[in-house]
């Protein structure tokens, strides 16, 4: 009687462990799919792939411009902010080009190098942009990214999804997938050993 209870408990434990392993594999596949339709297209779409050195030529703050947070946004989501324009000397080609913070900055407003997040206090926005402009004037040389194909003549300060970020995004689903497969393999080995012991 006790042996039957032990066997039943063992089978329940194996079933739960097997369900856990399959659930981990399924979740990792969903994460792979999510990363594949969100992050990967932005990474492959970006043409600013080569890193070089940029030297600041001028950093000016122009009159206020209006910025919509998203395309097709309502009027209340459009807010004015000082337009910072940073021009740099591209070391790779020696050209004078405009610098943008990221790829998204160019899409949101091609006239400005930096687009702030929506803040209710306009003084905070102004102070933030002035601080960024002073940092550019202080640190004259810094790494930046340009388009080696020449389709984009401007440069960006940082990529939204660099190679390291993409690898880090794939790290967690890979660990989950590996852990799930390992659990499934261990359960199958345990079942095989149990069957072999009972046969002997």
Which of 61, 59, 65, 83 is closest to 135 using CA atoms?
59
Q: What pLDDT is recorded for position 92?
A: 67
Which of 124, 128, 4 is closest to 61 using CA atoms?
128
> pTM above 0.85?
no
Q: Looking at residue 92, what DSSP letter applies?
A: T
Mean pLDDT of 23-52: 89
Structure tokens at 34: 């999510």
The CA R_g of the chain, rounded to the nearest whole Å, is 27
Mean pLDDT score across all residues of the chain: 81
39-42: long-range contacts at Cβ-Cβ below 8 A with a sequence spacing of 24 or more?
39/161, 39/166, 39/169, 40/166, 42/103, 42/160, 42/161
Mean pLDDT of 170-191: 90
Q: Cα(129)–Cα(114) distance, rounded to whole angstroms? A: 8
Q: Using an 8 Å Cβ cutoff, are 57 and 88 in contact?
A: yes
Q: Using an 8 Å Cβ cutoff, are 182 and 33 in contact?
A: no
Residues 134-167: tens digit of each pLDDT: 988 888 889 999 988 878 889 999 988 888 888 8
Residues 50-60: tens digit of each pLDDT: 888 999 998 88
Q: Cα(98)–Cα(155) distance, rounded to whole angstroms? A: 6
Q: Cα(109)–Cα(154) distance, rounded to whole angstroms? A: 13
**Residue 110 or residue 6, greater confidence:** 110
User: For residue 112, how many other CB atoms are within 10 A of its CB?
Assistant: 24
Question: Comparing 11-15, 34-38, 102-106, which segment has the lowest mean pLDDT?
Answer: 11-15
Q: What pLDDT is recorded for position 94?
A: 76
Residues 59-90: tens digit of each pLDDT: 888 876 665 544 444 444 566 788 899 999 98
Asked whether residue 103 carries a pLDDT value surpassing 60, the answer given is yes
Q: Cα(27)–Cα(19) distance, rounded to whole angstroms? A: 12
Q: What pLDDT is recorded for position 78?
A: 61
Q: What end-to-end distance do the CA atoms of the chain give, in Å?
A: 20
């Amino acid at each position: 009687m006790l042996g039957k209870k032990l066997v039943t408990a063992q089978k329940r434990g194996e079933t739960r462990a097997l369900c856990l392993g399959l659930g981990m594999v399924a979740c990792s596949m969903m994460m792979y799919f999510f990363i594949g339709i969100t992050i990967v297209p932005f990474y492959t779409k970006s043409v600013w792939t080569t890193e070089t050195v940029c030297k600041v030529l001028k950093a000016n703050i122009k009159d206020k411009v209006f910025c919509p947070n998203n395309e097709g946004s309502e009027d209340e989501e459009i807010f004015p902010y000082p337009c910072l324009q940073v021009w740099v000397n591209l070391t790779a080609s020696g050209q004078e080009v405009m610098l943008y913070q990221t790829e998204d900055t160019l899409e949101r407003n091609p006239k400005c190098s930096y687009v702030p997040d929506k803040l209710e206090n306009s003084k905070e926005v102004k102070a933030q942009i002035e601080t960024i402009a002073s940092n550019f004037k202080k640190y004259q040389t810094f790494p930046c990214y340009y388009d080696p194909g020449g389709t984009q003549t401007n440069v960006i300060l940082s990529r939204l999804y660099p190679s390291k970020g993409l690898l880090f995004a794939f790290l967690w689903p890979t660990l989950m997938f590996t852990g799930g497969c390992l659990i499934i393999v261990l359960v199958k080995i345990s079942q095989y050993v149990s069957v072999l012991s009972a046969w002997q």
